């Protein structure tokens, strides 16, 4: 969900262009969203700043008219699948999670997951359950993109992607980046190359060392050509690897089948608070994407089996709801929890749902 300032900027721009004081210049603007899902991200922000960043806190919200969709599924399933879901009461369970109506026996935020969800207590078992059959299907992008592991934080991603990557046959190709800082001659002693190689900036910077194979699923880290579907956060399959180019193909959506020949590009951290001024890393702007964070998964749907790594519990509004609603059937969900613990934290800011 976008920050309220984005909506207010559009409003001011349209008023200036059309020279009227009517909201959005008197033009119709269609906004789509779900307040049960993840709210705008405010770095270091607590509940108060997050609430203030939401469009509900904007004076423009009073000008909106609302239409509600009757289906709660992330994907539109077949009639048979829908009947099975209703029999398991999964749609109602999702609404209860999203609206905070489920409460734990001892602590309200800690709820039990449905019995239709499979549980594992070791990371290896989660890999095997979610990506069972990967050796036979690694050349099928449609199969690969339907299976994913969702984590709560960035920290486990490297481990998960490495293990799944090792399951795909074929040799690795290693690609190293080149780093640069402002006033390189002056700062060479202050910022040695070995230190620059270790720097990360969340999902804004690619890693210094990329180890890739043909048939890997990767995520683009920057916008290149939105009209062709080459946008930040999109998932691709690697069709071919060379010394200086990666040949990628869009795997889903309206741009499915589009191909992209990707060179190395200078990438910045995208953060004014980054400790090293003028830092750039020249590397392929991608990241291996057999696993991704739940925040990145918002807006995407997966038709196959998904795994939820709940060793670190969710910490912000709507994250559990987003994770559980990425598939069409609860039996496609496998969760990794700590031993003998089948509860998880469900954070809901009730003021958004009133």
Q: What is the pLDDT of residue 84?
A: 57
Query: Facing residues of 240 across strands?
Result: 247
Q: How would residue 27 be classed by pLDDT, with cut points 50, 70 and 90?
A: very high
DSSP letters, 35-102, are TTS-----TT--HHHHHHHSGGGSGGGGG------S---SS---HHHHHHHHHTTHHHHHHHHHTT--
Tokens of 102: 């489920």
Q: What is the pLDDT of residue 82?
A: 52
Q: How would residue 350 be classed by pLDDT, with cut points 50, 70 and 90?
A: confident
Q: What is d(CA 103, CA 108) in angstroms, rounded to the nearest whole number?
A: 4
Q: What percent of the chain has pLDDT above 70?
A: 92
Q: What is the pLDDT of residue 149?
A: 94
Domain layout of the chain by residue ranges: 4-63, 83-132+305-353, 157-290
Answer yes or no: are the C-beta atoms of 264 and 210 closer than 8 Å: no
> Average pLDDT of 45-73?
85
Helix, strand, or coil (residue 285): coil
Asked if pLDDT for residue 187 goes beyond 70, the answer is no
Which stretches does DSSP call E strand in the chain? 110-112, 118-120, 148-151, 173-176, 178-180, 209-212, 217-220, 235-241, 246-250, 259-262, 265-267, 280-283, 286-288, 291-293, 306-309, 333-336, 343-345
220-234, 294-308, 325-339: least confident range: 325-339
> Average pLDDT of 154-166?
89
CA proximity to 288, closest of 248, 336, 324: 248
Tokens of 71: 């289906």
Q: What is the pLDDT of residue 75?
A: 45
Per-residue pLDDT tens for 290-316? 999 999 998 888 878 899 999 888 999
Q: What is d(CA 213, CA 215) in angstroms, rounded to the nearest whole number?
A: 6
Q: What is the pLDDT of residue 242?
A: 93
Q: What is d(CA 251, CA 109) in angstroms, rounded to the nearest whole number?
A: 37
Per-residue pLDDT tens for 6-22? 999 999 999 999 999 99
Q: What is d(CA 171, CA 161) in angstroms, rounded to the nearest whole number?
A: 16
pTM as predicted: 0.85
> Average pLDDT of 235-253?
90
Query: Facing residues of 247 across strands?
Result: 240, 261
Q: What is d(CA 27, CA 14) in angstroms, rounded to the nearest whole number?
A: 8
Q: What is d(CA 326, CA 22) in angstroms, rounded to the nearest whole number?
A: 38
């Amino acid at each position: 969900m976008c920050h309220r300032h984005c909506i207010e900027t559009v409003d001011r721009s349209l008023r200036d262009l059309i020279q009227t004081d009517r909201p959005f210049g008197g033009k119709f603007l269609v906004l789509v969203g779900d307040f049960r899902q993840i709210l705008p991200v405010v770095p270091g922000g607590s509940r108060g700043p997050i609430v203030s960043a939401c469009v509900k806190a904007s004076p423009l919200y009073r000008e909106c008219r609302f239409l509600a969709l009757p289906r709660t599924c992330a994907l539109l399933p077949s009639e048979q699948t829908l009947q099975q879901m209703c029999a398991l009461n999964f749609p109602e369970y999702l609404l209860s999670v999203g609206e905070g109506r489920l409460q734990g026996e001892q602590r309200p935020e800690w709820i039990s997951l449905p019995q239709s969800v499979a549980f594992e207590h070791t990371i290896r078992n989660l890999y095997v359950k979610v990506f069972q059959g990967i050796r036979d299907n690694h050349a099928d992008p449609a199969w690969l993109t339907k299976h994913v592991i969702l984590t709560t934080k960035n920290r486990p991603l490297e481990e998960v992607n490495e293990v799944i990557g090792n399951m795909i046959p074929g040799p690795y190709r290693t690609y190293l980046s080149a780093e640069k800082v402002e006033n390189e001659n002056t700062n060479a002693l202050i910022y040695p190359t070995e230190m620059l190689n270790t720097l990360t900036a969340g999902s804004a910077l690619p890693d210094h060392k990329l180890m890739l194979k043909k048939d890997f699923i990767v995520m683009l880290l920057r916008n290149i050509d939105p009209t062709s579907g080459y946008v930040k956060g999109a998932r691709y399959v690697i069709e071919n690897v060379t010394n200086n180019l990666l040949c990628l193909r869009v795997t889903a959506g309206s741009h499915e089948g589009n191909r992209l020949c990707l060179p190395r590009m200078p990438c910045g951290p995208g953060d004014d608070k980054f400790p090293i001024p003028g830092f750039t890393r020249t590397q392929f702007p991608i990241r291996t994407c057999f696993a991704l964070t739940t925040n990145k998964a918002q807006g995407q749907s997966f038709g196959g089996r998904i795994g939820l790594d709940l060793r670190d519990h969710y910490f912000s509004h709507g994250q559990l709801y987003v994770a559980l609603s990425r598939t069409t059937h609860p039996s496609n969900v496998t969760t990794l929890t700590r031993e003998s613990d089948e509860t998880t934290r469900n954070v809901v800011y009730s003021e958004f749902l009133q």
